[in-house]
Structure 1
């Protein structure tokens, strides 16, 4: 994208509407819809390539799922910001266990001021992602937009940026004592300690999930030559989180770097990747090992992010998005250094 698109009226209006829509239906529901469109878009692309199409009429994945309609930097970021605003205004009264500005599974309806906040932060996320891509910063522009937007809404509405001193970032003790002894999960100074996913924060569990999902993400990428299909499947699974099904893991920050790392072993632009080319270049055993390694990185960075940026704070700053910023940067730097033949979809200077 060109920097001029930062001020294109049509795109700004669309980004505003996308952020307002994310606020209306809820941050996480909008992201689940994005995952569905990623799966549809990647299958559409795969079928088109199979049929010999040189180009496809619409890039569903890039233009819709990652664009201003459902892109997480727009819709999810707008929804999270609107939730923080509605909480600050006292609009919400629920039995949610955590700070209410973290209840990203809920929609916010049609209050004009709430939707306006969602729209404004949809524009903020759009600006961050567009500028990042225009400057060829070697990170995922969409994930950077999600994280930057979250920091912006914390600043705008008077929330703490992190919530704890560095010496306390990794302390989950207050929460663990509550689960074993019935105490309130409050640390020194009266801060609540709220792990992002109570069933997915222990280091051994995180490591195991990283290996399993990393292998599966690598296999899907090796089989289809798609860097995003496994990611889309992981995101669609969040429908069950929205539905309240117990202990559904969140894994898109694991499947995405695993899939991308496998395809980065092929010296070809992402548009030229085919299943035959990938399978002929990368042995399956190598692909699965690389996927497991990057899956572990994604999982571990996600856990670090939740402890530093989420657990001690009052609003939702998305740990998977923060993890993807780091893992995409790793892939970009490895490509710049010549260790990997390409960075696939990660922008390079």
Structure 2
């Protein structure tokens, strides 16, 4: 990407529209659509790599799922900013145990100023991700765009960046005791619980460690069989449609699946676009792939939990813990590649 893309009128218009769309349908619903497109795109790419038939070269994953149409840095980030804005304006009139500005599962309809705010932060996320990719920061530019956009909307709308003092960042005990916030104890805002875990059924360290290992094994296995770093990620994101539908206790696992699959492919000394199941099998035993997957899946889960305790549980708006985790795990994979531990970085940009 060139720096000129940062100011391309056409790309800015598309990013604005993507962010406004995320506001209209809701941040998480737009993300589930991105997951669906990832699955479609990765299957299409797999057919391209493994068949001799003339198939048009269309990057569905990169241009649609991770581009300005449904890219989380644009649509999800725009939707999260829009719901934070709508809560600040008093537009949200539903009852919830959680701060209203964290309700990323709901759509916001067609109110012009809300759509405009989603569009503006769609551009912010697009700028962050494009700049990161242009400068070849060794981490996931899309995830960085999601995190940077969330920090930006908190600053712009006057929300606290983390919501509590450093000594209390990891403290989940008020939620566990179901305490009511008291003056001088923990932060109380907008009538919500004083401490709100991102997922009340998925926040204990041992639980996310085990879940990460399980998902990581699956992510590593699918990457080993297909050469795709994103297919298990896409499947995990599609599952989030059940969260939008209100099905209880659905785990969120894409931040576990992605580093697991990526680490397996980074262990193969071949360009990502040329990877086939045969290439991977000749370079890496399946046992090592599963072990790598379990290790990086567990790490993704633990870092996601750390991020939710630092940036979500005590704060007032949605800063996505999985995106923060992916920033960290992709950076680790990039650093390991630069240090020569991994022969490649898979899809992670390298300077």
Does the 8 A contact of 2:163 with 2:187 survive in 1?
no
Corresponding residue of 1:207: 209
Does the 8 A contact of 1:163 with 1:314 survive in 2?
yes
| Structure 1 residue 288: Cα displacement | 0.2
In 1: Cα distance, 2:302 partner to 2:53 partner? 39
Does residue 239 of structure 1 match 2:254?
no
In 2: Cα distance, 1:271 partner to 1:11 partner? 26
In 2: Cα distance, 1:54 partner to 1:162 partner? 52
In 2: Cα distance, 1:255 partner to 1:334 partner? 19
Structure 1 gaps of 5+ residues are: none
Corresponding residue of 1:152: 152
In 2: Cα distance, 1:185 partner to 1:52 partner? 64
| Structure 1 residue 114: Cα displacement | 0.2
Corresponding residue of 2:25: 25
Alignment of 1:1-349 (within 5 A): 1-52=1-52, 56-178=56-178, 183-184=179-180, 188-191=185-188, 192-349=194-351
SS of alignment partner, residue 177 of structure 2 = helix
1:290/1:189 CA distance change after superposition, 3 Å: closer
Does the 8 A contact of 2:19 with 2:78 survive in 1?
yes
Structure 1 ranges of 4+ moved more than 3 A? 53-56
| Structure 1 residue 241: Cα displacement | 0.4
Does the 8 A contact of 2:233 with 2:258 survive in 1?
yes
Does the 8 A contact of 2:49 with 2:274 survive in 1?
no
SS of alignment partner, residue 230 of structure 1 = helix
Corresponding residue of 2:191: none
| Structure 1 residue 300: Cα displacement | 0.4
In 1: Cα distance, 2:337 partner to 2:275 partner? 17
In 2: Cα distance, 1:218 partner to 1:24 partner? 35
* Deviation string, structure 1 residues 194-215 (Cα, Å, up to 9, x no partner): 0000000001111110110000
In 2: Cα distance, 1:223 partner to 1:7 partner? 40
In 2: Cα distance, 1:92 partner to 1:312 partner? 20
Does the 8 A contact of 1:45 with 1:56 survive in 2?
no
State the TM-score, normalized to the length of structure 2: 0.97
* Deviation string, structure 1 residues 29-60 (Cα, Å, up to 9, x no partner): 00000000000000011112222268743100
State the TM-score, normalized to the length of structure 1: 0.97
Structure 2 gaps of 5+ residues are: 189-193
CA RMSD of aligned residues (A): 1.1
SS of alignment partner, residue 237 of structure 1 = helix
Does the 8 A contact of 1:66 with 1:72 survive in 2?
yes
Does the 8 A contact of 1:177 with 1:185 survive in 2?
no
In 2: Cα distance, 1:342 partner to 1:75 partner? 30
How many matched pairs? 345
* Deviation string, structure 1 residues 204-263 (Cα, Å, up to 9, x no partner): 111110110000000010010000000000000000000000100000000000000000
